[in-house]
Amino acid sequence: MRWMLIALIFAAVPARATDSAPKPGVGAGYLFQLGAEHSEAEAAHDWIAIAARAGGVLDGLKPEIMPVRVPRKGRLWRLRGGPVDAAGAAAICVQLKAKSIDCIVVH
């Protein structure tokens, strides 16, 4: 099921032309978190919606959707992107926040 959701994400987000520059430090050990939802499907949907609003900021990056148990909230699904280096994660969050999209750097 999880792989089907991920496949749907990549099928739904159109590939951008090669005019966009590569992300700094792609493959390094930092991620950026975009939210947490009550289901994996909601988190996958959020990636698609955020990517559409982000104007190319997330192009070439992959979502990482992982479960976490939060006290008094139960099981949530974290929506993260990356991995990138620390500077790349910070730059991505600055660009997303400029578009009123919540983002935090995580390591």
Per-residue pLDDT tens digits for 3-24? 444 445 545 554 443 334 445 5
- What pLDDT, in 10s, does the model give residues 32-55? 999 999 999 999 999 999 999 999
The owner of tokens 């955020």 is 50
* Nearest partner of 49 among 102, 13, 80, 74, judged by Cα: 13
84 within 8 A of 26, measured Cβ to Cβ: yes
CATH code reported for the domain at 2-14+27-106:
3.30.70.1070
Q: pTM of the full predicted structure?
A: 0.75
Q: Do the Cβ atoms of 43 and 37 come closer than 8 Å?
A: yes
Q: How is the chain split into domains, by residue range? A: 2-14+27-106
> Distance between alpha carbon 6 and the CA centroid of its chain, in Å?
12
Distance, CA of 5 to CA of 39 (rounded, Å)? 11
- Per the prediction, the chain carries an average pLDDT of 84
Q: What is the pLDDT of residue 29?
A: 87
The whole-number pLDDT of residue 98 equals 97
Percent of the chain exceeding pLDDT 90 equals: 72
